[in-house]
Amino acid sequence: MGFDSRTASRLLLERGRVAATPMRDWGSESADRFVRLVFSREPVTRLAQLRARLERALGA
């Protein structure tokens, strides 16, 4: 999508209210292209909104 992981994480939080961890410092050179989402304890009703929130935040 053209964002580094820190920018994507910031946009997700500000625009989509989705917390994400930037993977920039987690290993390989390509790590900055990824963010980490943890959703194991989220209710299904909240997870059902995730796609719309990601699209709103990142303009997908």
4-34 residue pLDDT tens = 999 999 999 999 999 999 998 887 888 888 9
Mean pLDDT of 34-53: 90
Q: Looking at residue 27, what is its pLDDT?
A: 78
Q: Looking at residue 32, what is its pLDDT?
A: 87
Q: Could you tell me the pTM of the whole model? A: 0.80
Closest CA to 4 of 27, 28, 30: 30
Q: Looking at residue 21, what is its pLDDT?
A: 92
Tell me which DSSP letter residue 27 carries. S
Q: Looking at residue 28, what is its pLDDT?
A: 81
Q: Looking at residue 60, what is its pLDDT?
A: 66
> Distances in Å between the alpha carbon of 41 and those of 13, 35, 38, 49?
18, 18, 8, 15
